[in-house]
Amino acid sequence: MSKITSQSQDFSQWYLDIVKVAELADYSKVKGCMVIKPYGYAIWENIQRELDSRIKAADVKNVYFPLLIPESFLQREKEHVEGFMPECAVVTHGGGKKLTENLVIRPTSETIMYDTFSDWIKSYRDLPLKINQWANIVRWEMRTRPFLRTTEFLWQEGHTAHKDKAGADEEAHRALKMYEDFDRDFLALPVLTGRKSDKEKFAGALYTLSTEALAKDGKAIQAGTSHNLGMTFAESFNINYQDENGALQKVWQTSWGVSTRLIGTLIVVHGDEKGLRLPPKVAPTQVVIVPIYKTDGEERETVLKAARQIASDLKRFRVLIDERDTYTPGFKFTEWEVKGVPLRIEIGPRDLAKNSCILARRDTSEKTSLEISELFTAVPKLLDQIQENMYEQALKFREEMTSEIGTYEDFKKILEEKGGFLVTGWCGKETCEQKIQEETKATIRVIKEENTKCKCVYCGEKSSHKVYFARAY
């Protein structure tokens, strides 16, 4: 197995090593596009299954809209086209002929969907309209990294239309809460949530809400966003409805999404020097059983039989027996540690003689000996503990890496020496935000409080906004 660069030595290279050695993804020959391998895709399938059920529980219906969008659709909304057109892949030829109008591959689906919304929505009875799609997206990125930033990625995008601002506000916050809960409960990811500054909001949105995780290298990572789109697109696409009194009104809209970037987030938040660490709920394999035996003779069959019995007892979990004779147990331990399997059961003839086995936790590296008969009750408890502990570890790390900052000198010092989230005052002016970014590469991740009394860390003016700054992925 290839070696993994140390996190402390070169975090970026460590990341790339994990992606490769844990067999999550490969580079493809198409610039910036990755091949998601079986192990990486299995993580995505688990994310999809769980999140999809939460989306459906909110009475959002899945649909599928075309991949290709007429260029003129993008141009109908000024901010949107300015934000996305430079990133688009453009189809100019189809069926051997030059097209009369260029088509772009969706960089996001607002325009193609909302053109249809104007047909679907006629009356207040049609509202709220809540749809979602799981789809691939293409954005021409200059600097790419598997899962974190790729030219093509997979995501879900929810799109809703409402009668009024209150409806859109509520939905934008519901989606944010759904992501926050999902991140915490399923991915063991503590995330900050809040509004983005106008500079950082989605192109065309009234405001953007975001979930922000903290990577082990002290950089923030945006894990999901939820936008109140206001009436911007309703105006560009003429999405009108007749209200209860027969008057024509424009709808209010939201959109919200998470992507395969969540897999990158799992890696940079939970990974350690040994490799990936996966929270049990999202892990493709929750328990790996490594049988230990001499490959020739009876021992192999006796041990494998016991291993299969254990796997059968634990069948409500995702259990794998590593029966490969061509690798040593030590090699297998390392491989499954790299792949982040939460729990390992080791069983050999000496354990069997005592009706016991060894349990090894990936999160703490603890090893304990246990009677085989206890596994049935111990494993579910341990998996819960691992899930919870991984969340607590990440939360503790974030808390340690969150600093209250008074002066710009401190801001720069802490950012350089420690990183993490810097909580400080901001006057609300884009000029200060811009200067800070130029001078330190830190950006406002989310606004913490909007009605407080403090001073802008840059210009020193009285300010009402406390914000989280960080360098970010």
Residue 48 CB neighbour total at 10 angstroms: 15
The residue range among 110-118, 217-225, 333-341, 368-376 that interacts with its own copies, by the rule CB under 8 A, is 110-118
What H or E segment, with its residue span, contains residue 233? helix 232-237
- Distance between CA atoms of 124 and 262, rounded to whole angstroms? 36
Among 152, 171, 351, 433, binds its own copies (CB under 8 A): 152
Which residues fall within 8 angstroms of residue 246, CB to CB, at 6 or more apart? none
Which residues fall within 8 angstroms of residue 439, CB to CB, at 6 or more apart? 412
Quote the DSSP letter at residue 37: P
142 contributes a contact to its own copies by CB under 8 A: yes
1 contributes a contact to its own copies by CB under 8 A: no
Among 16, 42, 423, 459, binds its own copies (CB under 8 A): 42
The pairing of strands 287-291 and 319-321 is parallel
38 contributes a contact to its own copies by CB under 8 A: yes
The residue range among 75-83, 89-97, 212-220, 235-243 that interacts with its own copies, by the rule CB under 8 A, is 89-97
Among 55, 112, 172, 278, binds its own copies (CB under 8 A): 112
Residue type, 280: P
- Structure-block tokens of residue 226: 């939820």
Task: Give the interface size with its own copies as a residue count (CB under 8 A).
Answer: 54
Among 5, 28, 242, 440, binds its own copies (CB under 8 A): 28
246 contributes a contact to its own copies by CB under 8 A: no
> Least distance from C-beta 31 to its own copies, angstroms?
8
Among 36, 266, 343, 390, binds its own copies (CB under 8 A): 36
Contact between 178 and 262 under an 8 Å Cβ cutoff? The reply is: no
87 contributes a contact to its own copies by CB under 8 A: yes
Rank residues 72 and 431 by Cβ distance to its own copies and give the closer one: 72
Rank residues 45 and 181 by Cβ distance to its own copies and give the closer one: 45
- Rounded to 5°, angle at Cα 450 from 446 and 451: 160
CA gyration radius, the chain: 25
Among 16, 58, 89, 370, binds its own copies (CB under 8 A): 89
Q: Is 448 helix (H, G, I), strand (E, B) or coil?
A: strand
235 phi and psi, to 5 degrees? -70, -45
The pattern of x and - marking residues 342 through 381 that bind its own copies according to CB under 8 A reads ----------------------------------------
- Smallest CA-to-CA distance from 75 within 91, 65, 88 is with 88
Rank residues 61 and 453 by Cβ distance to its own copies and give the closer one: 61
What H or E segment, with its residue span, contains residue 411? helix 408-417
- Distance between CA atoms of 260 and 43, rounded to whole angstroms? 9
Rank residues 40 and 190 by Cβ distance to its own copies and give the closer one: 40
Rank residues 96 and 246 by Cβ distance to its own copies and give the closer one: 96
Ordered strands of the 343-347 beta sheet: 319-321, 287-291, 343-347, 356-361, 367-371
Among 15, 73, 114, 233, binds its own copies (CB under 8 A): 73
Among 11, 14, 15, 44, binds its own copies (CB under 8 A): 44
Residues 53-72 that bind its own copies (CB under 8 A): 61-70
Among 54, 58, 76, 116, binds its own copies (CB under 8 A): 116
266 contributes a contact to its own copies by CB under 8 A: no
Among 96, 245, 325, 377, binds its own copies (CB under 8 A): 96
The residue range among 74-82, 111-119, 194-202, 411-419 that interacts with its own copies, by the rule CB under 8 A, is 111-119
26 phi and psi, to 5 degrees? -120, 155
The pattern of x and - marking residues 153 through 192 that bind its own copies according to CB under 8 A reads -x--------------------------------------
Secondary structure in 3-state letters for 305-353 = HHHHHHHHHCCCCCEEECCCCCCCHHHHHHHHHHCCCCEEEEECHHHHH
Which residues fall within 8 angstroms of residue 203, CB to CB, at 6 or more apart? 79, 80, 82, 83, 84
Residue 73 CB neighbour total at 10 angstroms: 21
Rank residues 17 and 433 by Cβ distance to its own copies and give the closer one: 17
Among 20, 54, 76, 91, binds its own copies (CB under 8 A): 91
Among 127, 131, 278, 357, binds its own copies (CB under 8 A): 131
The residue range among 27-35, 187-195, 211-219, 402-410 that interacts with its own copies, by the rule CB under 8 A, is 27-35
Residue with tokens 């606004």: 447
Interface residues with its own copies (CB under 8 A) are: 26, 28-30, 33-38, 41-42, 44-45, 61-70, 73, 85-96, 103, 105, 112, 115-116, 119, 125, 131, 135-136, 138, 140, 142, 151-152, 154, 326
